[in-house]
Chain A
Amino acid sequence: MVRAWADSLIKAFYIAKKDAKVYYFKAPNFTYGLLIPVSLYLAFSMAGEISSKLIVAGLTSLVMLFGTTSIEAVAVVLEKQTGTFERLLAAPISLFTIVLGKALAGFFFGLILAAVVLFPLAAVSGTVVMNPLLAVIAIAFTSMAFSALGIIASAYAKWVPEAQMLSNFLRFPMVFLSGTFTALEALPSQLQVVARFLPLTYSVEALRSSIAEPAVTYPYILDIVALALFTIVLLALSTKILEKRIA
């Protein structure tokens, strides 16, 4: 059993490594992954005053959200379009391992984008990250949850534009409902309830907590647990959707 799991993990890692080689430098990953979140933030920061702490946590989460979901949309749908997905299906790998491998590719991409954004932005804006380790943990859990979210869209779609459209359908409402640009408490109470069903909410909160607090707090732990639960549920759901799609 343990050996089978280890075998699956190794194969998932090979798929992620291959995806990194093949898909990391596709144009949509940069346009959607970096340009859109940066543009959104610039637009909002020009419209009103946003504290540097909010900017650093919010922008890092947004870049990860757009970056990981973009690469997942390309990685799964493009493979289905070009027929290379059949190579994976014919190989001795479970569908869950394929989904996990795809998610890992997005996960590593999210880590790279976060590293590119968080620490330089913190340095430029004069924001001190009180606990860098907690920030890294929050980034890791965020990246995995968003990757799993990206796979849902691309598991469902038949073409890259369809996957991008579905991703946008999930991404943009989240941006405005998850307290990215403002404190969550500033939203109407009904929307605060909706925000609790969105992974971006927990990502932003966990990052803000690691920037503001030197020690682990109870809300931070809850945020990490929520992100882990999102990851598990979304990966299982993606596997089920793909299973139905290829049946």
Chain B
Amino acid sequence: MLSRIWSVNCVRNEHEMEIAIAVYDLTKQYGKILAVDNISFTVNQGEVFGFLGPNGAGKTTTIRMLTGQTRPTSGTVTVAEYDVVRESIKAKERVGVVPEVSNVYDEMSAWDNLVFAAQLYRVAKNEREKRAKELLELFGLYERRADRAGNFSKGMKRRLTIAAALIHKPGILFLDEPTSGLDVQSSRMIRNLTKDLNKNGVTVFLTTHYIEEADQLCQRVAMINQGKIVAVDNPEKLKASVEKHQIIEVSFDQTQNLERKLADLKYSNKVTQVGDKFRLHVRNTSEAVPLIIDFARENGLKIVSINTLNPSLEDAFVEMTGLSPEVMATEKEQGKKAASLG
């Protein structure tokens, strides 16, 4: 069903790659607060581009500027060849936007929500009904098409929000935290859909605080912290840049009081316990592995498994931003609690 062509107008960069989004010296200031500080990057056509950063880093402000929902203080944004400020309508016609909070009309049925979205993009009447049916089927909502969206679960509302963003076959899709707070099944469905859309030529701009999600989906990621971009590259290149520490993950037949003892081992910089496994950050794995085997023998332990781990995107994120990845998750949860209390 997704084999239909999502076409998009593009310009080419110096490597003859088509550019879907071009951002130059973009800045947004709210009074004395500098939310986004002079950022520049490009997103190539047909790629999934991740935008990683903690809460308050400037992700949503950036996405709002990129989608023409708020004006930049300075700088330019070009989307599908169109300047988002000066040619706002044309730029918006070519993008689909899925905000962090699902924004369907609770009082309207799933069907009416999609038809209204299509009307705003002036999709022809016969085409809009065909598209609404296709998308509701794709998202497993067709049987519930006549039900009020207000009666839907969080995952169903999320799917309906994404369907509404796709009703006009956009060439570029902005996804702001698409799987945040969703059940496993809905999250998996959305990730698979993102991959399928991308295979069909849709450029995806994804903001997420799930680093693993960005690693799985994105061809390139930008890391933003305090309004500034600290790195833009392929996930593998970013991981390679922090390879000065190597990790050995080992599991013994028992776990009690081992973390402190392992930390005393030579070559071991840091030890963390993850479930029934221990992660040892070492400079040189070939020197450290024999020591771990000796350690097990001396303490009467059986090694259940031992693996070397490459640095993850999470490690790269920590290295580049100086923040712990838990900060992002915690801040998100706090934000949600505050919103629900408000």
Q: Which residues of A contact B (CB under 8 A)?
A: 7, 10-11, 14-15, 18, 21-23, 82-84, 86-94, 246-247
Contacts and interface: CB of A to CB of B under 8 A. Distances in A.
A92 B69 contact: no
Contacts of A88: 120
B105 A86 contact: no
Contact of B119 (A11, A22, A23, A89): A11
Given A14-B116, A82-B106, A86-B103, A7 B71 contact: no
Q: Which 10 pairs across A and B sit closest by C-beta, in order of nearness?
A: A92-B92, A90-B97, A91-B120, A83-B103, A14-B119, A92-B93, A89-B69, A22-B107, A92-B89, A83-B101
Contacts of A82: 103, 106
Is the contact region of chain B dominated by helix, strand, or loop, or is it mixed? Answer: loop
B68 interface: yes
B104 interface: yes
B198 interface: no
Contacts of B104: 84
Interface residues of B, number: 29
- Residue among A87, A89, A90, A94 facing the most chain B CB atoms (10 A cut-off): A90
Interface in B87-104: 88-90, 92-93, 95, 97, 99, 101-104
Contacts of B88: 92, 94
Given A22-B107, A83-B102, A92-B88, 11 more contacts: A10-B122, A14-B116, A22-B105, A83-B101, A86-B103, A87-B99, A88-B120, A90-B92, A90-B97, A92-B90, A93-B120
A83 B64 CA distance: 13
B272 interface: no
Interface in B105-164: 105-108, 112, 116-117, 119-122, 164
A88 B105 CA distance: 12
Contacts of B70: 246-247
Contacts of A246: 69-70
B108 A87 contact: no
21 contacts: A7-B122, A11-B119, A22-B108, A83-B103, A84-B103, A86-B99, A86-B103, A89-B68, A90-B67, A90-B92, A90-B97, A90-B99, A91-B92, A91-B120, A92-B90, A92-B120, A92-B121, A93-B89, A94-B88, A246-B69, A246-B70
A240 to B, nearest CB: 13
Nearest to B103: A83
Contacts of B69: 86, 89-90, 246
A83 B99 contact: yes
Interface of B: 67-71, 88-90, 92-93, 95, 97, 99, 101-108, 112, 116-117, 119-122, 164
B112 A21 contact: yes
A83 B106 CA distance: 11
A142 B181 CA distance: 47
Contact of A90 (B68, B106, B112): B68
A18 B108 contact: yes
Among B90, B92, B119, residue most surrounded by chain A Cβ atoms (within 10 Å): B119
A164 to B, nearest CB: 19
A175 B6 CA distance: 55
